[in-house]
Each structure stands twice: as C-alpha cells, then as structure tokens.
Structure 1
C-alpha cells in the first residue's frame, strides 16, 4: 500500500466537491500516472476500499472519510410509512432494527446474512451497495480484465464457478451486495447528493448498470456524487417478505445463490402482487418478471411455487462450471414463495 492523505469530510457538500474519481474510474487508471496519483476517493466503512489499496488496485492521493457525517446515519420513518436509511447505517443496525424486521423482513434477513458479525458492525449500507465485484480476475493485479480496461474477460476460459448465469455476455461478474437483492424487491430508491447541493432520487433498479451498457462500472454514480441514503416505500399490512440464500460457509461467505421475495396476498388467498429478485446470479440484482407475472392473480400452491421457480430461470445461460446455480435458484424461489405465503396465512389467525 502506498502512502496517502486522510481527510475527514465536514459535510456532504465538501465530500462531493473534493472527490475526483469513483473507485471504478480509479481502477481503470493506469497506476503510476499523474491522474492516478492525484485521485481523491470516498471512504465509508473502508472494508472494500482498504482491500483494493492493499492489493495495489487503487492508489489514491487522498481518502475523503465520510463516516462521521451524522446526516448519512440512522433509520428514520416518515408519516406515509416510508423509511429512509442513511448510507452510513451499518449492516448490523439494519439487521437488528425492530421496525425493519417487521415491515421489511427480507432486508433485515439479508443484512444479517452478509459477511461476519465483525464486518457487519463496520460495513455500511452505502459501501455495501458500491463495493466492487468479488471476481478474482478483477481483484488480481496480474489480470488486466475488461472491467479494468483490458482486452477480455478471463472468467469465460478460466474459473467461473461463482460467476453469473444471467446477462453474462462480455463480462460474467455477479453483483456482490446481499442487501441489494432485498432492496430491489422492495422497489427501493437511492438518494444521491451532487456538488452543487442538489439531491436526485432514482429507483435502485435504474442505479445499477449491466456490462452491455457499460463494461467498466456497476452503477451510474458520478465522481462528484455521494450516495447519501436509500428510501423504502411504505408496505401494505398484507405484504410479507423473505430472503433466502445458499453459501458454502453459512457463517461467513458470499452466497452461491440468493432470492428475495415480497408477496401481497388478499383475504381470498390470491396473490395481488409479487416481487422476486435473484442474487449472486447476474452483474446486478436480477428481477425475474416472468415468475412475478405467473404468481400475480393466482393462488399460491406447491405447484404454482414450483412453476415460479422454473420461470425464474428464463434466459439463463450458464458457463462451464456454474450450471449448479440453476437448480439452486429455482429451489430458493420455490421455498421463498411458499414460506412467504405460509407466513401471511398464519398472520390471519
């Protein structure tokens, strides 16, 4: 790790004004060039940033620490039932928040399954959403892959057992954020702060970028923008949600496959609305609209849940070593749909 300066941001305005590059842009810049040595990057919890610096993948002149900005911390409720989660809120705070565990259970469950207790107490929601993919070729200084400005993706002819089974043409990374899967299922929005003091809101689904749109980054965050919060819309009392995942080590590992399901089922046991998002399956959290449409207006049964699991695989293209993900994803969808429906039925009695 090279020497660097440290600056504590006093306000979002200061951080947005002084930051010169996103982490993705810094990884594209050849090390040793003047622009690389002059970069000012944002540091939140620091879990991912320090890893990248220790591996020599970024070499900033200065880190702008936003971890002490109180306006970026905590979970607050609005009169309409919506929730604002500050970008500096830790995963541990999300996992244990009483209201979130009741109204947005899938998000609390996803946060509780991310990483280890030590990391959850340090890692922030904003940093988790913005972390770079965990592809070993991206994280290797010996491999100048497409995402770092190189000529090709090494995963296709290499070790791709943990890589994407959807939207994996050109680059086969999977998005590394566990909470992002649940947030997308709840139709969350992100709040971005710009250097001019303006704030813009956009759906989380529009925040992420697939390789076909931009090979070098995972989101549309610009160098002068700070992710300040995530907003969750109000939930109907008849809504229930669940997050499930499978990992090689349940105690601490990224999932091999994951799903977040949000269901709204009426008094006649018909599904009025379904939201199903796959994790560890694509370069962004992957919403499976075909499975959602199958459940909408239908009564949830074992056969219907099985059909939703099969429909969730529409368009999947496995690589040489990751076809095992397909039955895992289908099974997780089936289980999540059945558990969500069963939870709703139990709450009525």
Structure 2
C-alpha cells in the first residue's frame, strides 16, 4: 500500500468541501494515469476502502476521516414519524436496536447476518451501502474489466457462479450490500450532503445505478458529496417484514441469494401491499415487481406464496454457472412471505 496523507474532519461540511473524488472516480483515474494520483477520498470505517488500497486498485493522496463525527451516528425518530439512521451507525448497532427489531425487523435481520461479528462492530451503514463490487475480476489488479474502464466483462466467459441473474448485460456484478436489500423493501431514502453545505433526500431506488446507465459506478453519489443518513418511513400497522438469505458459510460471507419481504396485511391476512426485493441477484438490489403484484389484494397462503416465488424469477437471464440461484430465490421468497404473514413455514417446505 502506498503512503498517503491523513486528515481528521471536524464537521461533515468540512469533509465534503475537502473531498475531490468518489472511490469509483479515483479507480478510473488510476487505470488511465497510474503514475498520477491526486484523489482526496473520504474514510469512515474503512473496511472496503483499505482493502482496495491494499490491492493497489486505488491510491489516494489523502484520506479525510469522518469516523469521529458524532452527528453522523445513531438511530433517532425522523420528522415524518419514521426513523433516521446516521451513516456512521454500525451494522452491529442496527442489528441490536430494539426499536428496529420490532418495527423494521427485516433490516435488523439483514444487518445481523452481514459479514462477521468483528466486521459488524466496525462497518458503518453508509460505508456498507457505498462499498464497491466483490466480483473477483473487478478486485483483481490483473483484470482490466469494464467497470474499471476496460474493454469487456471477464465474468461472461469466466467463473460467474456468484454473478447476476437479472440486468446482467454489460456488467454482471451483484450489489454487495446486504442491508440495502431490506432498506429498498422499506422504501428508504438517503440523505446526501453537498460540498456547498445543503442536503437533499433521494429514494434509495433512484440512488443505485444499473450498468446500462453507467458502467463505472454503482450509485449516484457525486464527488464531494457525503452520505449522511438513511431515512426509513413510518409503517402503517400491521406491517410485517422478514429477511432471509442462503450463503456457503454461516459468517464472513456474502449471500448466494437473499430476500427481504414487507407485507401490509389486514386482519384476515389479505395483502394490501407487498414489497419484495432480491439481493445478490442484480447489479442493484432487485425489486421483484411481478411477485409483489401476485400478492397484492389476495389472501396469503402456501399457494399464493409459492406463486410469488415463481413470479420473482420471471425474466431472469442466468449465466452459464449461476442458474442454481433461481430455485434459491423461488424458495426464499415463498418462505419469507409465509413467515411475514405469520404462517408455519414448515408446512410449505418441498
């Protein structure tokens, strides 16, 4: 890892004014001009950024540390009756928060399964949402892939067992954030601080970027902007949510497939509104709109849950080595719907 300068930010506004590049921009600059690197980047927990620096994929001139800014920490009531989660709130704090575990259970469940206990105690929500893809070709300095400004995606003809099954034309990464799957299901918004000092809110669905819109980045964060908070809307009772995932290891692993389901039910288990999001499925957290439509206006049962699971994978375009993901998503959606409705999932097992 190359030497770099270190600066402790005294406020979010000061940090925003100092930052010159996003991590994605800094990586592209390095690929184009490897001997000239003047980027000033923001650092919070540093879990992903330091990995990229160790791998030689980004070589900043200076890091601006925001990890000591108390105003970016914690979970509090929002202005609209929802919840505000500071960007520096750790995944462990989210997983253990009693209010979140009751009102937004799927988010607490997702945070509790991310990475390992050691990482969850250090990794921040903002950093987790902004981490770069975990595709091994992207992370390899020897592979100049499309996302790093190269000529093609190595995953298509290579080892693509962990890659996308939706929206995988051009670049086949999957979005690496586990909490993002649940946050999108809750229609969360991100709060962004501009270098000029003003803030604005953006729906998470509009924050993430598909490869067809931009091959080189995963979100709409601009140079100098800082993600300061995530806002969760208030939920009309009775709303129930569940997050489920399947991974090769019980800890320190990314999911092969994960699902967040949020159901707004009446007193007779009829679904007034369903929100279903798939993770590890596409370059962004993937909204399963056809599955949502299957459930809306009907009574939740094993039959309707199974139909939603089948609808969730409609239109998928798996690659040579990841077709196995489709039955995983089908099963996870079915089980999550039944659990969210309070029905016995064991009766619905194959």
SS, match of residue 308 in structure 1: helix
Q: Kindly indicate whether the alpha-carbon contact (under 8 Å) linking 1:194 and 1:224 is maintained by their aligned counterparts in 2.
A: yes
Q: Kindly indicate whether the alpha-carbon contact (under 8 Å) linking 2:239 and 2:264 is maintained by their aligned counterparts in 1.
A: yes
Bigger shift: residues 28-37 or 118-127: 28-37
Tell me what 2:138 maps to: 138
Write the distance in 1 (CA, Å) between the matches of 2:215 and 2:195: 26
Q: Kindly indicate whether the alpha-carbon contact (under 8 Å) linking 2:114 and 2:251 is maintained by their aligned counterparts in 1.
A: no
CA offset digits 1:251-296 (Å, max 9, x no partner): 2210000000000110122100100000000000000111101100
Q: TM-score of the superposition, structure 2-length normalised?
A: 0.96
Tell me what 1:47 maps to: 47
Write the distance in 1 (CA, Å) between the matches of 2:148 and 2:269: 50
Tell me what 1:149 maps to: 149
Q: Kindly indicate whether the alpha-carbon contact (under 8 Å) linking 1:242 and 1:261 is maintained by their aligned counterparts in 2.
A: yes
Tell me what 2:245 maps to: 245
| Count of paired positions | 344
Tell me what 2:14 maps to: 14
Write the distance in 1 (CA, Å) between the matches of 2:234 and 2:279: 23
Change beyond 3 A, Cα 1:164–1:31 = closer
Tell me what 2:339 maps to: 339
Write the distance in 2 (CA, Å) between the matches of 1:34 and 1:66: 27
Q: Kindly indicate whether the alpha-carbon contact (under 8 Å) linking 1:36 and 1:60 is maintained by their aligned counterparts in 2.
A: no
Write the distance in 1 (CA, Å) between the matches of 2:121 and 2:158: 35
SS, match of residue 30 in structure 1: helix
Q: Kindly indicate whether the alpha-carbon contact (under 8 Å) linking 1:186 and 1:232 is maintained by their aligned counterparts in 2.
A: yes
Tell me what 2:74 maps to: 74
Q: Kindly indicate whether the alpha-carbon contact (under 8 Å) linking 1:16 and 1:193 is maintained by their aligned counterparts in 2.
A: yes
Tell me what 1:347 maps to: none
Write the distance in 2 (CA, Å) between the matches of 1:30 and 1:57: 8
In the TM superposition, what are the counterparts of 1:1-349 in structure 2 within 5 Å? Answer: 1-30=1-30, 33=33, 36-78=36-78, 80-342=80-342
Q: Kindly indicate whether the alpha-carbon contact (under 8 Å) linking 1:105 and 1:241 is maintained by their aligned counterparts in 2.
A: yes
Q: Kindly indicate whether the alpha-carbon contact (under 8 Å) linking 2:30 and 2:59 is maintained by their aligned counterparts in 1.
A: no
Tell me what 2:348 maps to: none
Q: Kindly indicate whether the alpha-carbon contact (under 8 Å) linking 1:181 and 1:260 is maintained by their aligned counterparts in 2.
A: yes
Specify every segment of 5 or more residues in structure 2 that has no aligned partner in the other structure, as ranges: 345-350
Q: Kindly indicate whether the alpha-carbon contact (under 8 Å) linking 1:239 and 1:263 is maintained by their aligned counterparts in 2.
A: yes
CA offset digits 1:9-63 (Å, max 9, x no partner): 1111111111010000111113594885211001110000000000000000000
